[in-house]
Structure formats: C-alpha cells, structure tokens
Structure 1
C-alpha cells in the first residue's frame, strides 16, 4: 500500500458532469484519481487520459451502485495504492414511477456510500487519517421524486453518528450543493430560478465546490 502521504481520491460518478470537472480539478492540484463510473465507459477513459496528461495517475473502477457485489469491487483490498480520500458524487435522481418502492434510490444514495466508507477506512494505512466527503442536496425536490428526497434525508440524518463512528480513522464532511448543472430534463428557465433562489450556504458552481473540497482535503 502507498504511504499515508499519498494523495489518492476515489470519486464516484466521476466520468461526467460535476464529477468529471472535480476529477480534473483535483488532478491539477496533484491528486491521483480513481474514476468510478457505471455506463459512461468512453467518457471515463477519456478523462483518464486527461488526468495522465497532467502527470497524475488515473484508475478506472466500473460498478453499478445498485448492485452490492459490484460496489464491493470498487475499492481493492490489495494491489493498488491506498486511497486517502473518498468523494460521494454519484447519486440516483429519478421519478418515483421509475422506482416504485424506493429500493433503487436507497441502494445508490444510502447503502453504496455506507459500503464504500467501510471499505475505504479498512484499506487506510496504519496511522493514516482518511477524508470522506458526502454531498447533500439543498435544492427544492418535487413531490414526484419523493424516494430521492427520502434517500437523501436518510443519509443526512446518519451523518452525526457516522462522524463519531469513523473517528479517528476518517474525517467525514458534508457539503450542501445547490443547482450546479442543468438536468437534461429541466428547462433553462426552471434551472435559473433555482439558482436565483439558492441559499448562501449552497454551493452552486463547480469552482466553488472544488474550492470547498480542497479546503477539506489534506495538503
């Protein structure tokens, strides 16, 4: 395993959108990146090439976060440099009609992060302290996405207890995100209205999210 000083971060959902930009930003700041993706293989491979061109190491980790057996394979127990940070960027954000009982949202937005946190802490080198960053959603969530809202609320409710459970092996931080990138199903007018209504405590651009993350990660 790598030394405790290694700067190596796993970002879930890193191949596209906000995750892609965060991965590039952290690579520019000297971090090696493990790029988790589900179906965006071409985008993940292109991102890995960009990171390599910056002089950093990129590793690909494909997994469907709805499937525990695949989640368990994201963080190897041996054979790769140790991770020192974990960023939970991926989430499932779908209408209730596409997940009638909410199990898919629970799997991706609650169960997978908990599994990854456990595996992350287990692989930390002796004496090292890891950093885990969990994103929260500060935007108004429509009624037809109640299962998404419930999964996010469940994770947020766990954070105080998890913070205590993980200490001193890992520091758990939460960042509240506002509307950052327009959803393909969303009108520009609706997105602009959400941005205008965002609270001061909400991060609403990739640069501000990246700056907040860099402030939480070790030098």
Structure 2
C-alpha cells in the first residue's frame, strides 16, 4: 500500500536529476507533489505530466531561489495550488533539493560566486523551512539533500562543500528545535549520481566516477529517491538529526 496517501510534499529543484526522481517517488507513494523549478519550465511541466500519466498527483511551482523575492513567489504559488488541489495549505513533507554546483580552485573563487552559491544552497533552504513551518503540521518531515563532498577533500569543490556543510547544520539544529512537534529533520548525502549532465555520457568520466563507490557504479537518482521516501514515511518517525550516507560507500575511503 502507498505510504504517503493524503500527504502533500514540496520538492525544490525537481525538474531533473535527483529532484525529479524524488518527486516521482513521493507521488508513487500517494503524495500530492509540488514540483518546484527555477527556469526549466518545459522540464518541470514534463515531470508533472509524467507523474499524472502514472496515476499520481502533482503541480508545478516556479521561483528562482537565491533572489530577494524568490521565497515569497514560491510560497504564494504553493499555497494557492495546495488550496486548489488539496483543499488546504497543509504541507506534510519538505525536501530541500535545489542547489547550484560548480568547480573553482581556491585561488580562483570570486566573492560574487561564493555569495550566489551560499544564497541558493544554504540561505534559501533555511528560509524556505522558516516560511514552511506555519504550513507543516506536527509529525511532518523535512529532508535536506547535501553531498558526500562534505566528508572528503576535493579542493575545486570547496565552495560547494561549504554550502552543503551549512545545510547539514540546519538539519542538526532544527531537528532539536522541532522535536517537540515530532517534525523530523534529516540530511541525505548522495555520492556520484547521474543527474542528467552530459559529463555522465563520457565513458572515461563515468568510469572514473564509478570507482568512487564501493559498488563500482554511478548511482541512478532513483536510489536516492528511495532513501528520501523512507525518511518521509511513518517508518522513519524515530530518526531525526541524522546524516544519511547515500553515497554507495564512497565515504568508506
């Protein structure tokens, strides 16, 4: 039986890759899913169409996180469509997946790039949660998508890793803060995962990335979505403040 029937969910950055897989999996489990996107309108509409074609429920919400008015735009659309599709603005599950990724050696990092990465990857999730808390009922779920890069050194990814480390701290501290309401807050950290980038179509690159995992493979986004679906369910009600290594053993060394 579907485990999330009558639940509502928001997945940020859900037009492709891990976010798309999470949105599709939560919908398969019975949730009404808000598919957030920044600029990829056609891709987000396709995700919604595919979910509906499979018998699920979904709608798209657009906002560019990291901009001054991004969160206001997101929640105005979200609340209106939750009311339309579910009859209330209740939000049971929030998945902070949206993020920027890029590489720059420490000597080449610009202040502008750093600020943009921090705004999207760390500041936006914090204030999305803050805004969502009035909609999330007791026993709700908040799941933040981080990265295995917070646990091993990759100098060209230092900015990205810093922002994801900040996101992990949000999970840790808010898990304590929201425990009295039985709202769980957890972090999921993927490793090398095929997010649709053309880099994964290059055999040499894919082979090198595969070797980072104990299984010798690049993960498909669906395996991350499986972990998120578990944390979103009642089965995970006693897990909060956790860092869930979903890197396929990359962090084993």
TM-score normalised by L of structure 1 = 0.84
Match for residue 42 of structure 2?
A: 42
Q: Take 1:19 and 1:142, find their aligned partners in 2: how far apart are those partners?
A: 24
Query: Structure 1 residue 210: deviation in Å?
Result: 2.2
2:99–2:120 Cα contact (<8 Å) kept:
yes
Secondary structure of 2:44's aligned partner: helix
Q: 2:110 aligns with which of 100, 124, 128?
A: 100
Alignment partner of 1:136 is 2:150: no
Once the two structures are superposed, what CA deviation does each residue of 1:171-205 show, in whole Å capped at 9, x if it has no partner?
A: 101112111116434644233333322368xx933
- CA–CA distance in 2 between the matches of 1:217 and 1:162? 16
Matching residue within 184, 201, 212 for 2:198: 184
Residue 86 (structure 1) aligns with: 94
Call closer, same or farther: CA 1:136–1:67 in 2, change over 3 Å: same
Could you say if the C-alpha distance between residues 136 and 30 of structure 1 is closer, same or farther in structure 2, counting changes exceeding 3 Å? same
- Superposed CA deviations along residues 82-118 of structure 1, whole A, max 9, x for unmatched, are 2100111111102348961100110011011001111
CA distance in 2, matches of 1:99, 1:107: 15
Asked if 1:197 corresponds to 2:212, the answer is yes
**Contact in 1 for aligned 2:12/2:36 (Cα 8 Å):** yes
2:85 aligns to what?
none
Matched, 1:51 2:51: yes
CA distance in 1, matches of 2:123, 2:192: 24
Q: Distance in 1 between matches of 2:21 and 2:169?
A: 28
Residue 123 of structure 2 aligns to a residue in which SS? helix
Q: Secondary structure at the match of 1:72?
A: helix
State the alpha-carbon separation in 2 of the partners of residues 64 and 23 from structure 1. 18
Spell out structure 1 runs of 4+ moving beyond 4 A.
Answer: none
- Which stretches in structure 1 are left out of the alignment for 5+ residues? none
Matches of 1:117 and 1:47 in 2, distance apart?
24
Report what 1:11 is aligned to: 11
Partners of 1:38 and 1:30 in 2: how far apart?
25
SS at match of 1:22: helix
Where structure 2 has 5 or more consecutive residues not aligned to the other structure, the ranges are 83-87, 235-253
Cα pair 1:105 1:147 within 8 Å, conserved: yes
Deviation at 1:164, TM superposition (A): 0.9
